[in-house]
Amino acid sequence: MRSERHEGQKNRALDGSLAGHDSPGAQFPLLDLEQTQAVNERNTMNTITKTLAGKVALVTGGSRGIGAAIAKRLARDGANVALTYASAQPKADEVVRAIQAAGGKALAVCADAGDAAAVQAAVAQTVQTFGRLDILVNNAGIAIIKPVDAFSLDEFDRSVAVNIKGLFVATQAAVRHMGEGGRVIHIGSVNADRMPFAGGSVYAMTKAAVAGLTRGLARDLGPRGITVNNVQPGPVDTDLNPATGPFAESLKALMALPRYAHGDEIAGMVAYLASPEAGFVTGACLTIDGGFAA
């Protein structure tokens, strides 16, 4: 990260001289401040943020919320990105269009994380379209919050199918295509470690399972040079858990930083784990929760 900043400073200096001020003999046209900033931004995009150039990523549940932020961020860092969704095709198409408008390549695939065949097909379609798969982000998840007496067994099975089995199936299918440098990144939850309100038992259980899977999968895949990590967010402002929702004030009261995160903040941690810089990080649960669990 330090070297990225250094490169950025170099670029800014270069563009400053291209602007040609104080240099009557300059061979470059004079640029006004706005033009210079545009050149700087373009150079920044081209030279600094392409840590994932040539890579292909699959983000499950990438049509909205945290997954959409991750898909856009990985594309900005140079990856071609496939994203799955369960039902909201217009939202998925919006994310694809945003990535394409910024010069990237993206693909949306309808694949319910609770349907193993659909998940396997999404992995296959990603590889067929982009020719390879380097990064899997298991983000798709649901949160059914109900006290134990009200929780139906169908709801229990659905929670397990989407939050645990879907993640396992996607990982199993994806790593068949990955080599040295491959990345599997789960989006768990700080609720794996701390569940400070009633009704969250099954959700917390599924996210604790994700943490366990992370450690075991890291052991399985380490010898192949593939890392497996688990990002555990605290409250993030999404449709699932809106910052204006009924739980918001009580959640904020538990935090060292009493605010919700933005999806981009979670995406930043995922981008780090996906990058070559994170090659020695595996089997880790990285909590990003504003001090929720502190």
Catalytic machinery residues: 203
Shortest approach of ligand NAP to residue 13 CB, angstroms? 39
Binding positions for ligand NAP, rule: CB under 6 A: 60-67, 84-88, 91, 112-114, 139-143, 162, 187, 189, 233, 235-236, 238-241
DSSP string across the chain? -HHHHHHHHHHHHHHHHHH-TT-TT-SSPP--HHHHHHHHHHHHHHHTS-TTTT-EEEETT-SSHHHHHHHHHHHHTT-EEEEEESS-HHHHHHHHHHHHHTT--EEEEE--TT-HHHHHHHHHHHHHHHS---EEEE---------GGG--HHHHHHHHIIIIIHHHHHHHHHHTT--TT-EEEEE--GGGT---STT-HHHHHHHHHHHHHHHHHHHHHGGGT-EEEEEEE--B-SSSS-TTSTTHHHHHTT-SS-SPBPHHHHHHHHHHHHSGGGTT--S-EEEESTTTT-
In the structure encoding, which two tokens stand for residue 222, read together?
């380490």
- Phi and psi dihedrals of 85, rounded to 5? -150, 165
Nearer to ligand NAP, 15 or 289 (CB): 289
Nearer to ligand NAP, 4 or 94 (CB): 94
Shortest approach of ligand NAP to residue 75 CB, angstroms? 16
Shortest approach of ligand NAP to residue 250 CB, angstroms? 13
By CB neighbour count within 10 A (0-12 exposed, 13-18 middle, 19+ buried), where does 208 fall? middle
By CB neighbour count within 10 A (0-12 exposed, 13-18 middle, 19+ buried), where does 9 fall? exposed
Nearer to ligand NAP, 57 or 236 (CB): 236
Nearer to ligand NAP, 45 or 88 (CB): 88
Shortest approach of ligand NAP to residue 206 CB, angstroms? 8
Shortest approach of ligand NAP to residue 225 CB, angstroms? 26
Shortest approach of ligand NAP to residue 229 CB, angstroms? 14
Query: Which residue is listed with tokens 């609720």?
Result: 191
